[in-house]
Structure 1
Amino acid sequence: METLDQPIVSSKVEFLCPERVKVSGDFCGPYAEILTPSALAFVAALHRRFESKRRELLQRRVQRRTEIASGKLPDFLPETQSLRESDWQVAPLPEDLIDRRVEITGPTERKMIINALNSGAKVFMADCEDSSAPTWDNVMQGQINLRDAVRRTISLETPAKTYQLNPTTATLMVRPRGWHLEEKHVLVDGEPVSGALLDFGLYFFHNAHELLARGSGPYFYLPKLESHLEARLWNEVFEFAQWELKIAKGTIKATVLIETLPAAFETHEILWELRQHSAGLNCGRWDYIFSYIKTLGANPRYRLPDRSQVTMTVPNMAAYVRLVIDTCHRRGVHAMGGMAAQIPIKDNPAENAVALDKVHLDKLREARLGHDGTWVAHPALVPIALEVFNDLMPEANQINKPRSGAPLPTAAELLQAPHGTITEAGLRQNLDVAVRYLGAWISGNGCVPLYNLMEDAATAEISRVQVWQWLHTPGTVLTDGRPVTNELYRELLKEVVDRLRQEVGEETYITYYRPAVQLFDRLVTADDCADFLTLPAYELLP
């Protein structure tokens, strides 16, 4: 695809880089095995073919946000009504994606990959996105770990234990970064490549043929989509990638996370665009709440209560779930449930029992509603989720179960804000979780246990945009009668920061958490709600 240019030399290895491709990240020996000239040429081809369309679609997001701010609310598309009402289904799924009753997710860290593949879950989603801070080392080491996992050579030696794969493991899926993120360490024609195309391109190039030879295939989760046009772009990427590597069209399978409010109005259209490559839709609950706030902004009509009160049973969230399940089953494909983020509370059996009971009830709700599987964040939760779905879903999935005759959700139901209260405890929790997570993210850790939950970027985003919304929405008042003002916010933030500073120590605070606090403060006090905190935070990563 590309001619080779001059050698580029690092302190550890000399290599050839394709013409007009520059890599500024380190090329230690193992990284060079991933960043081969052919692999980089493949990524460069993806960039040159699809970058202009990616930028165009990102600009379309901005235009839509402007329209919504001026009063044009999200709605189902009139121009695709006939598509929604017509009968069609997506292409059949491969055998190892038929039964997905429990999926476990986590970053592409070596120990995590081994434990997740061995967990007893049907699928492991290896995450290059929200649970991974995209430092150059994390990006590269993740690709090495995925390559070794595909070939079943992955292992880890520690003083306490040797980690290696069991004979039977979960099916592997990979979530690349979203369309909005770039990879600053790889330039093509002087432009940074899309993080999505880099993650997808390197994994697909090195592993697609190997996966097929082992009886599986290149399977993906697609995050943060806001329209069917963004799904169309992914479909074009898939078709081009399969053609380049001489792999049959339709081999790639991808599940789209419906985790933005605009995407909820285009579920049928998204499946249609990916119909040869679709593996269904997933209810990405935390990012969906984040998107709801970000999309509808500071309009008091859409002000949300404390995050703990926005459960999956409040009307707008329940409507979203019904819509996703009905869409998927009508089109013959999986509707996956949301994340159980709990982790074991080892030092408090009573609290642990309460937490696990919450997981059990959440999975009961999902299975009864018709989900074909669910997500967990920790291997200890796999047996709980499996027990529920084994009991209520004896078949491989519920796709062919008769659909509910209830009316489908309306736009008004999807937009309706849940009732509830805003408390000092809720405001303080948002400040605490966002600052702690963001500081850990800047240190290179994107999957952070906080208060017995495994948090990723989505919950930090909810915390951040809720504080922004409460500060910028006229009439926001706590249950004790105090208005949410900049003065109250700064008073509580100082208390949170002082406590955190004592816990982590001065050196760690100055290195990681002080930049996190400064960034958080800038974002929540700005006039406009920033799209993603990870975009400015990325500039703080090496």
Structure 2
Amino acid sequence: MGMELVPSPPGLEAEYRTIFTANSLVFLQELVSTFDEEVDKILRQRISRKTHLDLSGDLPGFCDDTASVRSDPNWRVSPVPRRLQRRHVDVGDLAPCDTQRFLQALSSPAQGLQVDFDDGNCPTYQNQIKGLHNVYRAVHGQFPNAPMISQAPVLMLRPRAWNMVEHNMMVCGKEVSGPLFDFGLLMFHCGQLLFDSQSGPFFYLSKVESHLEARLWNSIFLWTEQKLGLPVGCIKATVLIENVLAAFEMEEILYELREHSAGLNCGIWDYSASFVNKFGHRKAFLLPDRSKYVNMEKLFLRSYMELLVQTCHRRGALATGGMAAQLLPGDRDSAPYREILANVTRLKLLEIRAGVDGFMVYDLGLIKPMQKLFQLHTHDNQMHRLRDDLTVSPGDLLSMPAGGVTLFGLKYNIAVGILFIEAWLTGRGHFFYRGQVEDSATAEISRSQVWQWIRHQTELEDDGRVVTRGLVTALIREVTGELLHNSTVREERRLATAGSMFLEVVGHREFPEFITTYLYLDHTFIASQYHRQEVGEAWNIPRPKL
């Protein structure tokens, strides 16, 4: 069976040789060949399920076919490993290709690191190779002055989601599935050492939509453990429940992964965007301005988080909350610093009181304050809180919050969408805007809302104007103008390209399912990456200060 691999990008020849050895390529080829048809099948099942919902007008509910799993009180997931039992604060959106931040996080007091090849990472060939090599170096103790992997925060490795492919490798004439590429290379090079040091291998699984997808991951884990001579169940995975359909199958997802489960995680913006993905053409599911009306205090998100906690703790699994995206100012004595810290504390306290066992922050300066907040309420974890008092109905999970659309919210979503596309065109998976980090999750909800508001011709609360493609076009010009301060001609052109691509994606007749897939398959993005390889442009481009 044939394998084709694109040669090394300029400047990464040594990293390339370390990652793509003869043995690792044989392993990766076998992994892909074994599971490629199953990957295609689950992607087709997603399409089939969405088509059924569209044609029937049905709404999701708790499945009758799996009622026996939910009603059986006796099963539990396998015991949580020691290093995961007290993981109050993880660092999120940690793109491992960013060597400097990766090293800072390795030496931080965080209990875990979300090593992110997905939402916070732009999957250029350069970034994937550099990121894989940095994980390799960390696990093999090759970074000077960095702690040994047994002493560093535990690595929670997040491969790409099922919707992503790897353009630079083909097996049997087909581009390789992105998550299999990432997972396979991480396990081959790091799995044994992580296990020997009692530090893994641990994973985050993104954008899982059903228990059948969890079953596929479980099969992949079992195959990999057997191939690499590792004990069954040593791989542990936290599934991110960031799709509305998965919220109705949380127990079934834990059941399918019960030998390999490290619990479930809440992802507020991808989860909210999934409502538009699945039901956005239905006016009953019009999602109001996220900047004003959508937060964890609303019924549909609060119910989802509480059900996740109840489900996990009932089955002996860990329940983790979302990521605080806010950035702390440098001056600790300033009023803005105190205000941001107070706001993060208030929101994270809601999650702690709901019963989560941990959550994520982006800013390393938030680690210690949030750990202290957790220690005020629990020393280890909150798995003893079973939440037996709670009953969550399908109506609770599908209850849209009240509210409308503001001009500020519309412009904010446009800015985030444009800046995300612009970031991808320069090889960055996240960026900073208005005092917080933005990534593909916030880009998803931003472009989803603009698409839906155009589709339903929603009126602005401010002045009654209708959200149309014409209005969005005018606001794109306005927002782009505001972002172009002190820009070079090249930056102006790139931002103009991003604005055009954003207008294209929010104006589509049919909703593009994932903005990352849309961009990754777009000629503009592919051409920009090949151009950067040809001219030898550095992969690590400075982030704009916005």
In the TM superposition, residue 502 of structure 1 has moved relative to its aligned partner by 4.0
1:102-125 CA distance string (max 9 Å, x none): 111211121222211222111111
Q: 2:269 aligns with which of 275, 286, 290?
A: 286
Give the Cα separation in 2 of the matches to 1:438 and 1:486.
Answer: 19
Give the match for residue 463 of structure 2. Answer: 480
RMSD: 1.6
Q: Who is 1:431 aligned against? A: 414
Distance in 2 of aligned mates of 1:474 and 1:77: 34
Identify which of 44, 65, 71 aligns with 1:79.
65
State the shift of 1:474 in Å: 4.6
Residue 475 of structure 1 deviates from its aligned partner by 4.6
Contact residue 367 and residue 393 of structure 1 kept, 8 A: no
Unpaired stretches in structure 1, ≥5 consecutive residues: 1-18, 156-162
**What is the distance in 2 between the residues matched to 1:522 and 1:390?**
48
Which shifted more, 371-380 or 491-500?
491-500
Unaligned runs of 5+ in 2: 530-546
Equivalence for 2:85: 98
In the alignment, is the contact (CA less than 8 A) between 1:23 and 1:185 conserved in 2?
yes
Structure 1 residues 410 and 479: CA distance shift in structure 2, 3 A: farther
Aligned with 1:242: secondary structure? helix
Q: Which amino acid aligns with 1:232?
A: R
Secondary structure of the equivalent of 2:78? Answer: coil
Shift of residue 67, structure 1, vs aligned partner: 2.0
Amino acid at match of 1:111: Q
| Segment of structure 1 superposing worse, 125-134 or 477-486 | 477-486
Listed as ranges, the matches of 1:122-201 within 5 Å are: 122-155=111-144, 164-165=146-147, 168-201=151-184
1:206 and 2:189 correspond: yes
Q: Is the 8 A contact 1:297 1:469 kept in 2?
A: yes
1:87-486 aligned at under 5 Å gives the runs 87=73, 88-105=75-92, 106-108=94-96, 109-155=98-144, 164-165=146-147, 168-308=151-291, 309-346=293-330, 349-394=334-379, 396-407=380-391, 409-486=392-469
- Partner in structure 2 of residue 16 of structure 1: none
Task: Tell me the TM-score normalized by structure 2.
Answer: 0.91
Count of aligned pairs between the two proteins: 514
Mapping of residues 50-61 of structure 1, within 5 Å: 50-61=35-46
How far apart in 2 are the matches of 1:526 and 1:266?
30
The residue type paired with residue 276 of structure 1 is E
Looking at structure 1, the residues matched to 41 and 495 of structure 2 have their Cα atoms a distance apart, in angstroms, of 35
Percent of aligned pairs with the same amino acid = 37
- The Cα shift of 1:317 comes to 0.4
Structure 1 residue 347: deviation in Å? 6.6
Q: Give the drift of 1:338.
A: 0.8
Aligned partner letter, 2:80: L
Matched-pair contact (CA < 8 Å) for 1:305–1:420: yes
Contact 2:457 2:468 in 1 (8 A): no
Q: In structure 1, what is the equivalent of residue 520 of structure 2?
A: 538
2:95 aligned partner, one-letter code = P
Distance 2:287 2:216 in 1: 33
Query: By how many angstroms is 1:366 displaced?
Result: 1.1
Q: Which residue matches 2:28?
A: 43
Note if contact 2:154-2:200 (Cα within 8 Å) is conserved in structure 1: no
Distance 2:340 2:351 in 1: 17
Equivalences for residues 508-519 of structure 1 within 5 A:
508-510=491-493, 512-519=494-501
The answer for the alignment partner of 1:67 in structure 2 is: 52
1: CA distance, partners of 2:143 / 2:157: 16
Aligned-residue offset at 1:168 = 3.6
Q: SS in structure 2 opposite 1:164?
A: coil
Using structure 1 for the length normalisation, give the TM-score. Answer: 0.92
Amino acid across the alignment from 1:96: R
What amino acid is aligned across from residue 72 of structure 1 in structure 2?
A: D
Contact kept in structure 2, 1:69 and 1:297, CA below 8 Å: no
Structure 1 residue aligned with 2:536? none
Residues 135-174 of structure 1, C-alpha deviations (whole Å, 9 max, x = no match): 101000001100111122224xxxxxxx633894211110
Kept after mapping to 2: 8 A contact 1:342/1:453: yes
Q: Distance in 2 between matches of 1:133 and 1:414?
A: 31
3-state DSSP class of the match of 1:183?
strand
CA distance in 2, matches of 1:64, 1:37: 40
SS of residue in 1 equivalent to 2:245: helix
**8 A Cα contact 1:271 1:280, kept in partner:** yes
Residue-by-residue CA offset, 1:329-361 (whole Å, 9 max, x unaligned): 000010001110011123792222211111111
CA contact (8 A) 1:300 1:473 kept: yes
Paired residues of 2:263 and 2:318 also in contact (CA < 8 A): yes
SS of aligned partner of 1:345: coil
Cα distance in 1 between the residues matched to 2:497 and 2:27 = 36
CA distance in 1, matches of 2:459, 2:23: 56
1:30 aligns with 2:15: yes
Aligned counterparts of 1:198 and 1:509: Cα–Cα separation in 2: 35
Shift of 1:515: 2.9
- Rounded to whole Å, the distance in 1 between the matches of 2:335 and 2:488 is 31
Residue 476 of structure 1 and its aligned partner are, at CA, apart by 4.1
Q: Which amino acid is the alignment partner of residue 112 of structure 1? A: R
State how far apart, in whole Å, the 1-side matches of 2:66 and 2:500 are: 44
> In 2, distance between residues paired with 1:168 and 1:24?
36
What secondary structure does 2:162 align onto? coil
